[in-house]
Structure 1
Amino acid sequence: MISRNTASSPLPQNPAPAWAVGDIVVRRIDEVALPPQTGPWLLPGATPAVVAESPWLQPDFADADRVLRLASHTFALEAGGLRILVDTGIGNGKDRANPAWHQLRTDYLDRLEQAGFSPETIDLVILTHLHTDHVGWNTRAHEGTWVPTFPNARYLADRTEWAYWAAVDMEEARRQMFRDSIHPINAHGLLDLVDVPGDGLRIAPGITLVPTPGHTPGQVAVQLSSRGSTALITGDCIHHPVQLAEPAIHSHVDIDPAQAEATRRGLLAALADTDTLLLGSHFPPPTAGFVRSHRTTFRLDPVPARLA
């Protein structure tokens, strides 16, 4: 059972964009806006012509040239007496094959602390999947080595996800990511692997992991529930709102594109026209919204953040 650590919890100095889900306040902790070339690389099917068919994507989710906007951020929240971080972004000072991620120098940790979530106060880090841009702040550089950024936290990942990467023949860039961002937390005894059944796994009051495979075999979304309100943090089962309009648009790095599409369609159909707030792990501001039926598929009805 994950328990609350005893480190003090500072009050926010600079409020972060936030959404209320019952008694749970979900804060977006920004890392970096991704460069314009990210969209064509990541979602090659989202051409300007495709974007033009959904005018609601502009100006928030696509620019004037109908190029997708994407971002790297994480979500911080308190639920069930735990201080929780969902994913950890790209990280600083790490050698990466993607030039946009290589040797970053962002103020992410400052933003996290200013929002009231000092690293030592985090109880639980949920890793939706083990991709480079979701695990980077697992560790930080210290005296020539990589040490856990959140030393009092348990880091949670799906066992299927771990088993897949343990068995696959990884390219060097991915091996490097495991060396600097995954293996150190395991070596420190902080990594917990869980089995997520088809109907989800409740890991704390108000927090359920929902299996959303396809992008990776063990990709999970995170469902929040409090006082009759619900929300879902996507991970990478949905990269961008354009995939609501065209669920068949695949990510360039989906391991099983057909399964990813089936997962996405099923998830969107279940969320459509409900009051469940969708929080996109790579959606640019306004980041969140309600899924609404639109023509033969869906659209996102944005819900602006407040500062908290």
Structure 2
Amino acid sequence: MAHWFDLGDVAVVPLIEDDRLLIEPGEFFPGLEPDLAGWYAQEPWFDRAAGKLVFVIQSFLVCSADEVLVVDACVGAGKDRRRAEFDQLPDRWMQQFLATGLREVDAVVFTHLHTDHVGAVTVQREPVFPEVPHFVVEEEFRYWSSAAGGAAMRRTGDYLADSVLPIEQAGQLSFVAPDAVVGKHAELVPAAGHTPGNVCVRVRGSAGSVLLAGDTMHHGVQLRHPELSTRYCVAPEQAAEVRSRILAEAGDSVLLPTHFPAPSAGRVRRGRTGYGFEFASDLLRTGPFRYGEWLA
């Protein structure tokens, strides 16, 4: 289902590379046995027949009348990756981007530098958006350029070499503080833990705001169990603290975690056993987003 989120003078537009990536619970959460009576173990969160968690691979456009930002960039096309679902993908990302009527953007923002957040900004090791700044927290880049980061990439393939270093070598990688303002409607929110320089992106419009929560939470089970971090978190305890803070402070604000099942954006509700999640139907607009029509 094509959809986007209406914040009045700002639109947040998902670019969905995979709308149903099935993951064994134990891969991300070792030892997890989902409570099949829980809401997070039902559709659209969980595929009962396969016994697997449902993830989405997506990134976002933040569109206003005078600025367009890309937040993260999925896996990307034609990349050698060790996960079969990521290896040598067709160019779904660019097809969706071009379908909006856009051809250029003003900046790219990386919440962090994992393989499923950086790939579409290069094609054959060339930047897709020449001369455009690509914002990232410096600590994030330094970690993935280190021996520890290199060891962590053994499970994925060296995505830094084909998707991030070409941006850095072109002089387009711009280091920013984890609370930097990165656009007229967007600012970073510090969220280190999943990775050393991980951030969220708060997007404000005239009719509301959305926190692009990135990988601070991957699945609904982490709302039921905020203490549960993934096996891929660099600092699991810190990641859990960040997640708990975001959930406790959420109130009526809208969270849009990257990997939640479509339409992904919603409000958390505190219950007796953890949190629940209500999709934000008030902001949801169905159908394809066309930038020129939206401006008009």
Q: TM-score, normalised by structure 1?
A: 0.85
Which residue, out of 65, 88, 97, partners 2:82? 97
CA 56–188 in structure 1, closer or farther in 2 if over 3 Å, else same: closer
Q: Deviations over 1:70-123 (max 9, x none)?
A: 0111111224722111100001111112222111124221111102332xx111
Rounded Cα–Cα distance in structure 2 between residues aligned with 1:148 and 1:34? 28
Amino acid aligned to 2:28: L
Amino acid aligned to 2:11: V
TM-aligned CA deviation for residue 241 of structure 1: 2.0
Which residue, out of 53, 61, 72, partners 1:87? 72
Which residue, out of 167, 181, 184, partners 1:205? 184
What RMSD in Å do the two structures reach over aligned CA positions? 2.1
Which residue, out of 290, 294, 304, partners 2:267? 290
Rounded Cα–Cα distance in structure 2 between residues aligned with 1:238 and 1:37? 15
- Describe the SS at the equivalent of 2:232: coil
Q: Does 1:131 align with 2:114?
A: yes
Rounded Cα–Cα distance in structure 2 between residues aligned with 1:24 and 1:38? 36
Higher mean C-alpha deviation, range 177-186 or range 166-175: 166-175
TM-aligned CA deviation for residue 214 of structure 1: 0.7
Q: Does 1:74 align with 2:56?
A: no
Rounded Cα–Cα distance in structure 1 between residues aligned with 2:277 and 2:32? 16
CA 303–96 in structure 1, closer or farther in 2 if over 3 Å, else same: same
Partner residue of 2:42?
Answer: 58
Q: Give the gaps of 5 or more residues in structure 1.
A: 1-14
Partner residue of 2:246?
Answer: 267
Higher mean C-alpha deviation, range 215-224 or range 166-175: 166-175
Alignment check: 8 A CA contact 1:48 1:67 kept: no
- Describe the SS at the equivalent of 2:52: coil
Partner residue of 2:15?
Answer: 29
- Describe the SS at the equivalent of 2:46: coil
Alignment check: 8 A CA contact 1:76 1:117 kept: no
Partner residue of 1:6?
Answer: none
Q: Does 1:299 align with 2:272?
A: no
Rounded Cα–Cα distance in structure 2 between residues aligned with 1:38 and 1:158? 31
Q: Does 1:190 align with 2:175?
A: no
Partner residue of 1:168?
Answer: 147
Alignment check: 8 A CA contact 2:9 2:207 kept: no
Higher mean C-alpha deviation, range 78-87 or range 176-185: 78-87
Partner residue of 2:216?
Answer: 237
TM-aligned CA deviation for residue 61 of structure 1: 1.3
CA 250–187 in structure 1, closer or farther in 2 if over 3 Å, else same: same
TM-aligned CA deviation for residue 176 of structure 1: 2.1
Q: Does 1:41 align with 2:27?
A: yes
Q: Give the gaps of 5 or more residues in structure 2.
A: 290-296
Partner residue of 1:5?
Answer: none
TM-aligned CA deviation for residue 294 of structure 1: 1.5
Q: TM-score, normalised by structure 2?
A: 0.88
TM-aligned CA deviation for residue 204 of structure 1: 2.1
TM-aligned CA deviation for residue 227 of structure 1: 2.4
Q: Does 1:109 align with 2:86?
A: no
Higher mean C-alpha deviation, range 126-135 or range 296-305: 296-305
- Describe the SS at the equivalent of 2:118: helix
- Describe the SS at the equivalent of 1:85: strand
Q: Deviations over 1:120-173 (max 9, x none)?
A: x111111000111100112012xxxx1001224211101121122233331364
Q: Deviations over 1:28-52 (max 9, x none)?
A: 1111135423543123354233xx2
Amino acid aligned to 2:26: P
TM-aligned CA deviation for residue 297 of structure 1: 1.9
- Describe the SS at the equivalent of 2:247: helix
Alignment check: 8 A CA contact 1:248 1:261 kept: yes
Alignment check: 8 A CA contact 1:291 1:300 kept: yes
Q: Deviations over 1:155-196 (max 9, x none)?
A: 110112112223333136467211100110111111101122
- Describe the SS at the equivalent of 2:44: coil
Higher mean C-alpha deviation, range 253-262 or range 238-247: 238-247
